[in-house]
Amino acid sequence: MEEFSQVFIVVFGFLIIAISSGQLARFFQRINLPLITGLLFVGIICGPYVLKLVPLGAGKNLNFINDIALAYIAFAAGAELYLKELRDRFRSIKLITIGQLVVTFLMSAILIFLLTDYIPFLKDLSDNQIIIVSLVSAVIFIARSPASAIAIINEVRAKGPFTHTVLGVTVLKDFIVIILFAVVLSISVALDTGGTVSFTGILFVLAELAVSFVLGVGLARTLRNWLRLRMPSNIKGVGIIAIGYSVYLLHYIIRDYTLQAWGKAFLIEPLIICILASFLLINYSKSRYEFLKLVKESGTPIYVTFFTLAGATLALDVIPQVWIAMLVFFLIRLISIMVGAYLGGTMAGDPPLFNRIGWMPYITQAGVGLGLALIVARTFPEWGPAFATIITSMIVINQIIGPPLFKWSLSIVKEARPKAETPQFDGIRDAIIFGFESQSVALARQLRKNHWEVKIATLNQEVNAEDYPDLDIRKIDNISLENLEDLEARLSEAVVLMLTDEENLQLCELIYEKIGTRDIVVRLNDRNNFEQFHRLRALIVDPSTAIVSLLDHFVRSPQAASLLLGLQEGQDSLDLEVLNPNLHGIALRDLRLPADIIVLSIMRADQMLITHGYTRLRLGDVVTVVGSKESLQNLSLRFDS
């Protein structure tokens, strides 16, 4: 009972640390470092060598967290291997993957073995152990980070053959690397116990892999049946994580039973089982979208706990002895990736530019590599913790230099499409509405009533503008940057898109990349297109749910809904951008606002702040206020430059 209470205290205390870590690590993002680096750093600070909030040896009681996280990482990696999206670049993906796998693995393993005398960490190990370190290191060197790659691609909205190839290679490599790691680990265990790799031993490893593949198919069916049940999505998400963890429990049960019965452990591979199940579910199931959504929603808390624990269990006391090994490992991996990417791209017939910079996207590492290092540490307790420290330190370096290199490569091949700089306010509130119909006409008149300059752009050449003398109607023959320039789109504070989803998306991309308009409002026609507009930071109005949401607000808060919709006589709401440099740094309580004005919130750098009297304004803030129309008009003059 006392032991159970001790475990409970360790687990509960660590969860409190992990929650804090998730908040503290965000400061690293402000200085353009990855969130994972921040989590590792906070874990190190809280670990047994600094603040000692996580005691030495606590990792044994927290191993289940690693198991849960590794199952999730395998699910996430398999979910990215969607064959239909990789088909158009499959030849390049296949050959570059083969090139990197073969070259990186062989070159890294050979170099580490040959440089044994120059790596202090390896000098005290036996020949078999040096071979093991060379093999497992070479496998981990291949691992990449699909999550980091996708985050960077989404950040710069990269699109093109180079981007598709990088994403395909990244995901495929992690899929293969897990299988390769299982084989190498089984061979390494045999070498570590003084055995030899015999034909019987190879058959035993193949049997373990075969059973793992069968269990992967069974797990895919289990997940599919679970997703078919009617229940809240948060319960389904927890169930998916629990099912993944159950694979590890099954692994331990089979291992212990066979070890006792046969004298030799039969090891199914949880990572292979989970990644195969995810791959099958994504490619051959109708539950693909729901599974992707649930996996994405579960990611943040799992990554926070996993990387914080990795930092807290890092063996800092061995870093002075292993820093040379870490540097050598980093350089070996870098060189082998360069050679492998160049050879693979050359075999695939990719453009010379792609081949010269083809190594840049593959430097970053994260969950998979770190997870494999922790498995090695657990499997080989004699030298494994020091090895895990070397790999973790190398991953931190890769996390720092990898993302900038990937972004740079996307810019070189001109596939990065970041958001254009938002134009400066010219003192006049302008809006462009694309699409001519009764709703666009009514919206234009409502905006003009509130002192906005409005243009309606239409592709319909039969519209008679003379029938609407109070409106500025412009006819355009196609959707192009030239027509946007003719409409003076750079002077507009808002653009409203009311065409077909295909036309709206074409306009949205042009405005996002070339014009930089702050607010793009889209009327959605098909809910399946929501994500495409959301990536472009558009404000999306879905007619199929808008009325229900509106009625819901009127039922729960009729006064607020009436006020925000402008139905209260003489009252209105307004977003004001802070353009007056004299207001920069002033607290809201010192603004001398009219008595009938209320500040609801401030939007700053895409984050909403709930305000109080001591909140200080910054240039570029968008302040949402409500009050009388006369006071709002006077206040807008103070906020403008």
* Distance in angstroms (rounded) separating the CA atoms of residues 312 and 322: 18
Length of the chain counted residue by residue:
641
Q: Which residues contact 284 (CB under 8 A, 6 or more apart)?
A: none
Residue 375 lies in a domain: yes
**Do 437 and 394 sit in the same domain of this protein?**
no
Residue 459 DSSP code: S
Query: Mean pLDDT for the chain?
Result: 80
Identify the band that residue 147 occupies on the pLDDT scale cut at 50, 70 and 90: low
Upper half-sphere CA count for residue 349 (Cβ side, 13 Å): 3
Answer left, alpha or beta for residue 625, where phi above 0 means left and psi between -120 and 50 means alpha. Answer: beta
Q: Which helix (H) or strand (E) holds 625?
A: strand 622-628
- Domain's final residue, options 504, 525, 541: 541
pLDDT of 564 > 90? The answer is no
Whole-angstrom distance, CA of residue 140 vs CA of residue 145:
11
| Residue 430, H or E segment | strand 430-434
* Type and span of the H or E element at 623: strand 622-628
Q: Which pair of tokens denotes residue 552?
A: 């819901």
Please state whether beta strands 519-523 and 472-475 pair in parallel, antiparallel, or not at all (unpaired): unpaired
Let me know whether 374 and 501 are in one domain: no
317 shares a domain with 379: yes
The answer to the question of residue 18 being in a domain is yes
474/582 same-domain check: no
Residue 32 has pLDDT above 90, yes or no: no
**How many Å apart are CA 625 and CA 632, to the nearest integer?**
8
The answer on 586 and 523 residing in a single domain is: no
pLDDT for res 217: 92
Judgement on whether residues 319 and 370 belong to the same structural domain of the protein = yes
Of these ranges, 20-29, 112-121, 372-381, 431-440, the one predicted with the greatest mean pLDDT is 431-440
**Considering the entire predicted model, what is its pTM?**
0.63
Instruction: Indicate whether 396 and 444 sit together in one domain.
Output: no
Residue pair 4/294 in contact (Cβ under 8 Å)? The answer is no
Domain residues for 583?
569-639
Q: Is residue 452 situated within a structural domain? A: yes
The more confident residue out of 545 and 249 is 249
Counting residues of the chain whose pLDDT is more than 70, the rounded percentage is: 88
Q: What is the pLDDT of residue 565?
A: 63
pLDDT for the residue numbered 2: 52
Could you read off the pLDDT of 275-305 as tens digits, one per residue? Answer: 889 888 888 888 877 888 888 777 778 878 8
Q: How far apart are CA 174 and CA 196, in angstroms?
A: 28
- Overall domain count for the chain: 3
Helix (H, G, I), strand (E, B) or coil at 595: coil
38 neighbors 24 (Cβ within 8 angstroms): yes
CB distance 297 to 303 below 8 Å: no
pLDDT tens column, 244-265:
999 989 988 998 898 888 877 7
Task: Indicate which CATH number applies to the domain containing 601.
Answer: 3.30.70.1450
- State the DSSP code for 512: I
**446 and 383 within one domain:** no
CA trace torsion 75, 77, 78, 81 (10° rounding): 150
Is 522 found in the same domain as 408?
no
Q: Under 8 Å CB-to-CB from 578, ≥6 apart: which residues?
A: 584, 617, 618, 619, 620, 621, 622, 623, 639
Q: What is the CATH number of the domain that holds 503?
A: 3.40.50.720
Query: Among 114, 111, 170, 107, which residue's Cα sits nearest to residue 143?
Result: 170
Report pLDDT for 570. 66
464 and 534 inside one domain? yes
Residue 457 CA to residue 26 CA, distance in Å, equals: 42
Q: What percent of the chain has pLDDT over 90?
A: 3
Q: How confident is the model at residue 85 (pLDDT cuts 50, 70, 90)?
A: low
Cα 521 to chain centroid distance, Å, stands at 25
**Tell me, what's the pLDDT at 352?**
87
pLDDT-derived band at 222 (thresholds 50, 70, 90) equals: very high
pLDDT band at 38 (very low <50, low <70, confident <90, very high): confident
> Is residue 560 a part of any domain in this protein?
no
Residue 1 has pLDDT above 60, yes or no: no
Contact 305, 105 (CB under 8 A): no
398 belongs to a structural domain: yes
Q: 161-192 vs 270-284: helix axis angle to the nearest 10?
A: 150
* Structure confidence at residue 221 as a pLDDT band (50, 70, 90): very high
CB 44 within 8 A of CB 50: yes
Query: 181 with 372: CB under 8 angstroms?
Result: yes
For 357-413, how does the pLDDT look when each residue is reduced to its tens digit (9 = 90+)? 888 888 887 667 777 887 888 888 888 888 888 888 888 788 778 778 888 888 888
Q: For 469-524, what is each residue's pLDDT tens digit?
A: 888 888 888 888 888 888 888 888 888 998 888 888 888 888 887 887 878 888 88
Is residue 548 assigned to a domain?
no
Q: What is the pLDDT of residue 204?
A: 78
- 608-619 per-position pLDDT tens digit: 777 777 788 888
Same domain membership, residue 69 and residue 141: yes
Domain check: are 368 and 449 in the same one? no
| Cβ atoms of residues 131 and 62 within 8 Å | no
- Residue 296: inside a domain, yes or no? yes
- Above 70 in pLDDT, residue 97? yes
615 contacts 609 by C-beta, under 8 angstroms: yes
- Residue 234 has what pLDDT? 82
- Which band of pLDDT confidence, cut at 50, 70 and 90, is reported for residue 219? very high
pLDDT at 215 over 90: yes
DSSP string, 14-43: HHHHHHHHHHHTHHHHHTT--HHHHHHHHH
CATH number of the domain residue 58 falls in: 1.20.1530.20
Q: Tokens representing 490? A: 């750079």
Which pLDDT band holds residue 228 (cuts at 50, 70, 90)? confident
Q: Domain for residue 192, yes or no?
A: yes
